[in-house]
Structure 1
Amino acid sequence: MSNQHRMHGVFAVPTTPYNADGTQNLEQLAAGVEHALDTGIGGILCLGATGEALALSRDERESQVRAVVEAAAGRAPVVVGCMAYAPAEMSELIAEAAALGADAAMITPPFYGGLPPEAAIAALRIVMAASELPVMVYNNPHSTGTDLQPSHLVELLDTGSFWSVKETSGAATRVRELRAALGDEVEVFIGADGIALEGFSQGASGWVAASAWLLPEQCQRLWDLSRDGRWGEAIELWKGLGAALGQIEDNPAFISLIKAALSRRGAEQGPVRPPLPSVDTESVDALLSTIDGIEGRALHV
């Protein structure tokens, strides 16, 4: 992988805001991109695998990618989730993303397949060997039923498109093991917000964070402190930020929770589309109270 693709740091994952009539609110989406980039966020990853991407039509996907690319305007890389069951469909989605100006694509093992790792790697190899974009491989055993361990991912190094891994298995030493197996040419991103600081301490070179769409300043600050080796300050920040991220990540309706919190803070998002669950008011109140505490402490630092 050439140095031009050495993208790293915090990548915020946008929500999909809706108008009252159920259509996408692309103006609100663009405003969110602008806000995230103004805080120093390193990249945007739209159409993530555990959000509302699978509830969008192909036309809606295209509109969203176009809006994000235009809002980013070359200031930060845009990664597009290109998940599908069949390798051929993944390849089609990557080609569409490339044509719309995306900088990279994210793929997973086929959903719901519960495939043996060897079969999943074979499917991903077909896609990655043909990809015209750098590829992030998302290891999310909870959603896909397949845990791609370092020994499996090594088999993709010769595809020519292997940019990064988004690691969400939760295995305590996995980031360190990925670093050892894949070397310096493949970036390792944390994909589970609740173990971000732990992942940074093991050498992760980035973080794909749904929470960074709601808390971009704090997430970026955590990355900056960790990157600079200011671990004492990072731990102090984590005491509050980690509590908020835990409230988000532990809630089965976490997409709705992020959207509701954003709406309450003035960036109207609308509801989530079925089948995603809607969050209860008490959870939103509790999260906003935690965020108020984080922001209040920051004013006195």
Structure 2
Amino acid sequence: MTNPMRGVFAVPTTPYTEDGDQNLDALGGRIEEVLAAGVSGLLGLGATGEALALSAAERQAQIKTIVSAVDGRAHVAIGCMAYTPAEISAHISDAAGWGADAVMVTPPFYGGLEPDAVIAALRPVLTTSELPVMVYNNPHSTGTDLLPNHLAALQDTGRLWSVKETSGEPTRIRELRSRLGEDTDIFVGADGIALEGFAQGASGWVAASAWLLPEHCQRLWELADSGEWAGAVELWRSLGQALGLIEGDSAFISLIKQALGRRGREQGPVRPPLPTADPEALAALLDAIAGLERTHTA
């Protein structure tokens, strides 16, 4: 793998069989289709992948499936979400041993930690990491908003590959780019503001929606990355509507899974306690996708 770790990283859902087991065959098949769209990488075992609902054995099986299916054709990053630094580091060691290229970590959740405490917890994780690390700033889920100055304090570890930014603050990506410079990549993590993030200098996009609409998400990135802003804006008028419906729904994981199922790529249900998307929300999303495909051929 020679291309840099930037661009679109699609985030897989975890398909399940009717019996509730992981459907690794479905996962591998969808990976082939997503890679054909030209994405730079996959980020497995994120929140979209229901990582916290999986057993240790299921995690291991999924990572092995992703790495094997990708087979060096794109980058593989693995979410390593846990409460204690020791658990996070153990997940990172496992991901490295199973062949991942990079990992993503979050602040310890539920503790209501102040940013300085989070940085103190993550410092030993990054310092000892065998792999490049993406730090996921998701204050809506973790309760902690890591500002550019906080994240800059991790750059001296030599392992801060990137930041996935999902605070929703309108100028945050520009601020991160200004503070962290070019040595740390900045990824848009909120699908509904992807184009705005690209305009502010993002290095790429960690996109749950790219599991559903990989060709269109990849095309948006290519247009923006090459400075073809008129084309990017035109595509975004339709793509952004679909992505906004996904991102604005608390049952977005179910929505992605159901939409894929309607398109012949069965993903099964979500695991409780995650909510199931309403039929009306699914119908609205499918209408938006149909409109996108009428006006923009992937």
Q: Relative to 1, partners in 2 of residues 1:51 and 1:68: Cα closer, same or farther, differing over 3 Å?
A: closer
Aligned partner (choices 57, 67, 70) of residue 55 of structure 2 = 57
CA deviation after TM superposition for structure 1 residue 50, in Å: 5.0
Question: CA separation in 2, counterparts of 1:148 and 1:5?
Answer: 29
Q: How does 1:70-219 map to 2 (within 5 A)?
A: 70-219=68-217
Question: CA separation in 1, counterparts of 2:162 and 2:128?
Answer: 16
Give deviations 1:194-213, integer Å, cap 9, x for gaps: 11000000100110000000
- SS of residue in 2 equivalent to 1:105: strand
Letter in structure 1 aligned against 2:71: A
Question: CA separation in 2, counterparts of 1:268 and 1:5?
Answer: 31
Letter in structure 2 aligned against 1:150: P
Quick check: 1:192–1:209 contact (8 Å CA) kept in 2? yes
- SS of residue in 2 equivalent to 1:204: coil
Find the counterpart in structure 2 of residue 37 from structure 1. Answer: 35
Give unmatched runs, 5+ long, in structure 1. none
CA deviation after TM superposition for structure 1 residue 26, in Å: 0.4
- SS of residue in 2 equivalent to 1:34: helix
**CA root-mean-square deviation:** 1.2
Question: CA separation in 1, counterparts of 2:187 and 2:285?
Answer: 25
Question: CA separation in 1, counterparts of 2:111 and 2:170?
Answer: 25
Question: CA separation in 1, counterparts of 2:26 and 2:47?
Answer: 21
Find the counterpart in structure 2 of residue 236 from structure 1. Answer: 234
Give deviations 1:23-79, integer Å, cap 9, x for gaps: 100011011111111010110000113541000000000000000000000000000
- SS of residue in 2 equivalent to 1:21: coil
Quick check: 1:179–1:188 contact (8 Å CA) kept in 2? yes
Deviates more, 1:44-53 or 1:160-169: 44-53
Question: CA separation in 2, counterparts of 1:50 and 1:109?
Answer: 17
Question: CA separation in 2, counterparts of 1:115 and 1:31?
Answer: 40
Work out the percentage of aligned pairs sharing the same amino acid.
65
Give unmatched runs, 5+ long, in structure 2. none
CA deviation after TM superposition for structure 1 residue 5, in Å: 8.8
CA deviation after TM superposition for structure 1 residue 286, in Å: 1.1
Question: CA separation in 2, counterparts of 1:116 and 1:206?
Answer: 28
Find the counterpart in structure 2 of residue 283 from structure 1. Answer: 281
Find the counterpart in structure 1 of residue 244 from structure 2. Answer: 246
Quick check: 2:126–2:160 contact (8 Å CA) kept in 1? yes
CA deviation after TM superposition for structure 1 residue 6, in Å: 3.9
Quick check: 1:211–1:258 contact (8 Å CA) kept in 2? yes
Question: CA separation in 2, counterparts of 1:139 and 1:87?
Answer: 16
Deviates more, 1:44-53 or 1:55-64: 44-53
Aligned partner (choices 277, 291, 294) of residue 292 of structure 2 = 294
Quick check: 1:15–1:213 contact (8 Å CA) kept in 2? yes
Question: CA separation in 2, counterparts of 1:102 and 1:139?
Answer: 21
How many residues get paired?
297
The ranges of structure 1 where at least 4 consecutive aligned residues each deviate by more than 3 angstroms after the TM superposition are none
Quick check: 2:13–2:48 contact (8 Å CA) kept in 1? no
Letter in structure 2 aligned against 1:137: V
Quick check: 1:5–1:134 contact (8 Å CA) kept in 2? no
The TM-score normalised by the length of structure 2 is 0.98
Give deviations 1:242-275, integer Å, cap 9, x for gaps: 0000000000100000000001110111100011
Find the counterpart in structure 2 of residue 266 from structure 1. Answer: 264
Find the counterpart in structure 2 of residue 18 from structure 1. Answer: 16
